[in-house]
Amino acid sequence: MATAAHALTPLAQLSRAVADWVNSVRELTQPHAIHWCEGTDAEARELTAQLLRGGELKALNPEYFPGCYLYRSAPSDVARVEHLTYICTRSQEDAGPNNHWMDPQQAHAKMRELFRGCMRGRTLYVIPYCMGPLDSPLARCGVEITDSAYVVLNMLIMTRAGRPALERIARDGGFVRGLHSVGELDPERRFIMHFPEELAIESFGSGYGGNALLGKKCHALRIASWQARTEGWLAEHMLIVGLQNPRGETHYLACAFPSACGKTNLAMLIPPDSLPGWRTFTVGDDIAWLHPGDDGRLWAINPEAGYFGVVPGTNPETNRNAYEMIHRDTLFTNVALTADSQPWWEGLATGKPVLDWQGRPYDPARGPAAHPNSRFTVSARRNPGYSPHAEDARGVPISALVFGGRRREVAPLVYEARDWKHGVLVGASLASETTAAAVGQVGVTRRDPMAMQPFCGYNFGDYWQHWLDIGAQLARAPRIYHVNWFRRDAHGKFLWPGYGENLRVLAWMLERCAGDLDTHGLKVGADALAALLTVDAALWRKELAEMREYLGRYGSRLPAALLAELESTEQRLA
């Protein structure tokens, strides 16, 4: 940096609004010190050293994993907690049947009691951050206050955090206020509250991922979805990937899948040898902010700057780029360890765990060595496939939107929606088997419209209407598809190889006018392919009946156009 540190305005003086808020939080929480995050590498090194001294971080084998650390969360704090996550709007109807709701005054009162004095003896960290490229008009800023240095380290990777973000806040004025404390990590005193009308988040009692890194799910999805409706855009649980065909043309796809259904792998997909001439580029792996452009197309930015990915299953075959990326400058949470301090997880062909994710001698009788929801946090810039347009201020133009769930049956490998309106119905019909990303039973099928069930900050009825309104503005709307990589045969075996081969399906979408799915060199039998593409009319009639029942829950908030779309689909199937 050209400017000497002493010449810089102290962070606490950059924005009056932020400083006033920090002061009021200081009075409430009573920390012994306040640290304003500059966002420099030196600061990250200092915080890392401090956590190493305190034993909260463990350095991994520097020969094979330079700059990598292991963090172990409390065993009762390993996933998002949807049952403790609330949307606090003045009217319960605005939160909708898709959210847990609490009256904002009651929620503030409850949280005030939890936060009162909770940072005694601790440091209060102020993290100004920007979601999206710092110079992008589509980006939005926030400030997270937390008492966890581990959270700070994650936020420094996952967002554009520090002085430049605070400078932007000082210029723009508005920011999302996120207050977080790990509290006592007591599941009985854990709440993740959102106040969309106030652009505020209050999270207490968890230090884990989406509950604590407030820029991610809390801000970039729940609060942003509300903000997006007010401002005329969409905040979605979607990866963004660029595909370059052998003719050298690049198209971008945004794909919505529920948690732990392979978004990170798809975002970093490497073309199989059987599809020569194709290249792929990652723009984002989890969240897309989509804006109608002046040219009638839909443009997308990735609000995040890093990946908070599920570790188990990551290997050179499933995701070579992620596998290589996480060998340097990566924060691991809840993985196992080998005898020579290398991280270990299920799905690795080499190495042997000696300590499990809780630091106990590994005993297979106690379950997997790495927690199924163990994570890596790594900067997007370390991705060898990072798109040269990922930092473009106006984003990238989207040619197709893809919805997908984890379904053993019903949903075929791929189908295309007839138009935008039908596509909204397809997205609204998304259902998927639950995974370890959230606390609760794994493997039960649940409705997960647009993969946003845990993340939409308002009534789904209003949200679908907003989708319909956005579509009406787009002269060149993306086509909409549905995929299912997870269909199984009668013996429970996956029918589709997935991973790199998924490119065939994406390529088909982009080249659809030109012909059939390219199956050249694909090791999938004709019968399996037929099974993958079947639409069983009886199963579908059942599916539509369930869908009608589900949509009915939204009562008067359900857009009439969506119901009409369902009815015409029913008629086509009859």
Q: Interface with ligand OXD by CB under 6 A: which residues?
A: 80, 209-210, 259, 286, 308, 437
Nearer to Mn ion, 209 or 385 (CB): 209
Which letter does DSSP use for residue 310 in this model?
Answer: E
Provide the minimum distance between the beta carbon of 286 and Mn ion in the complex, in angstroms, as a whole number: 4
DSSP three-state, residue 255: strand
Q: Which does 457 bind (CB under 5 to 8 A by kind): Mn ion, ligand OXD, none?
A: none
Q: What is the DSSP string of 16-78?
A: HHHHHHHHHHHHHH--SEEEE----HHHHHHHHHHHHHTTSEEE--TTTSTT-EEE---TT--
Q: Of 20-28, 179-187, 246-254, 284-292, which part binds Mn ion (CB under 5 A)? A: 284-292
Provide the minimum distance between the beta carbon of 210 and ligand OXD in the complex, in angstroms, as a whole number: 5
CA distance 455 to 432: 15
Provide the minimum distance between the beta carbon of 492 and Mn ion in the complex, in angstroms, as a whole number: 26
Is 255 considered catalytic here?
Answer: no
Nearer to Mn ion, 170 or 218 (CB): 218
H or E stretch covering 132:
none
Angle 325-331-334 (CA atoms, 0-180°, nearest 5)? 115
Q: Which does 404 bind (CB under 5 to 8 A by kind): ligand OXD, Mn ion, none?
A: none
The stretches of 117-215 forming alpha helices (DSSP H) are 149-158, 163-172, 209-212
H or E stretch covering 507:
helix 502-510
User: Of the listed 141, 261, 456, 513, which one is catalytic?
Assistant: 261
H or E stretch covering 510:
helix 502-510
Residue positions counted in the chain? 574
Binding mask 347-386 for Mn ion (x = CB under 5 A): ----------------------------------------
Nearer to ligand OXD, 87 or 532 (CB): 87
Which of 358, 366, 461, 437 lies closest to 99 in space, CA to CA? 461
CA distance 407 to 404: 9
Q: Does 285 participate in binding Mn ion (rule CB under 5 A)?
A: no
Structure tokens at 399: 């040619």
Q: Which does 80 bind (CB under 5 to 8 A by kind): ligand OXD, Mn ion, none?
A: ligand OXD
Q: Of 142-150, 286-294, 407-415, 476-484, which part binds Mn ion (CB under 5 A)? A: 286-294
Provide the minimum distance between the beta carbon of 263 and ligand OXD in the complex, in angstroms, as a whole number: 7
Q: Of 169-177, 257-265, 426-434, 489-497, which part binds Mn ion (CB under 5 A)? A: 257-265
Q: Which does 377 bind (CB under 5 to 8 A by kind): ligand OXD, Mn ion, none?
A: none
Nearer to Mn ion, 80 or 482 (CB): 80
Provide the minimum distance between the beta carbon of 209 and ligand OXD in the complex, in angstroms, as a whole number: 6
Q: Which does 243 bind (CB under 5 to 8 A by kind): Mn ion, ligand OXD, none?
A: none
Nearer to ligand OXD, 142 or 209 (CB): 209
Contacts of 314 (CB under 8 A, 6+ apart): 322, 323, 326, 345, 347, 376
Provide the minimum distance between the beta carbon of 216 and Mn ion in the complex, in angstroms, as a whole number: 8
Nearer to Mn ion, 79 or 149 (CB): 79
Provide the minimum distance between the beta carbon of 474 and Mn ion in the complex, in angstroms, as a whole number: 25
Q: Of 132-140, 255-263, 490-498, 526-534, which part binds Mn ion (CB under 5 A)? A: 255-263
Q: Which does 82 bind (CB under 5 to 8 A by kind): ligand OXD, Mn ion, none?
A: none
Provide the minimum distance between the beta carbon of 21 and Mn ion in the complex, in angstroms, as a whole number: 28
Nearer to ligand OXD, 182 or 267 (CB): 267
The answer to whether 469 and 246 have CB atoms below 8 angstroms apart is no
H or E stretch covering 128:
strand 123-131
Nearer to Mn ion, 31 or 210 (CB): 210
Provide the minimum distance between the beta carbon of 545 and ligand OXD in the complex, in angstroms, as a whole number: 29
With CB under 5 A as the contact rule, the residue among 82, 286, 462, 565 that binds Mn ion is: 286
Q: Which does 210 bind (CB under 5 to 8 A by kind): ligand OXD, Mn ion, none?
A: ligand OXD
Q: Which does 221 bind (CB under 5 to 8 A by kind): Mn ion, ligand OXD, none?
A: none
The answer to whether 442 and 434 have CB atoms below 8 angstroms apart is yes
Residue 30 Cα distances to 111, 116, 212, angstroms:
15, 8, 20
What's CA 265's distance to the chain center, in Å? 13
Nearer to ligand OXD, 15 or 148 (CB): 148
CA distance 242 to 561: 32
The answer to whether 353 and 344 have CB atoms below 8 angstroms apart is yes
Nearer to ligand OXD, 286 or 346 (CB): 286
H or E stretch covering 225:
helix 224-231
The answer to whether 220 and 304 have CB atoms below 8 angstroms apart is yes
Contacts of 404 (CB under 8 A, 6+ apart): 255, 256, 257, 261, 430, 482, 483, 484, 485
Q: Of 46-54, 104-112, 194-202, 253-261, which part binds Mn ion (CB under 5 A)? A: 253-261
Provide the minimum distance between the beta carbon of 334 and Mn ion in the complex, in angstroms, as a whole number: 17
Minimal CB distance residue for Mn ion: 286
Minimal CB distance residue for ligand OXD: 259
Angle 367-369-375 (CA atoms, 0-180°, nearest 5)? 115
List interacting residues with Mn ion (CB under 5 A). Answer: 259, 286
**Active-site residue set:** 261
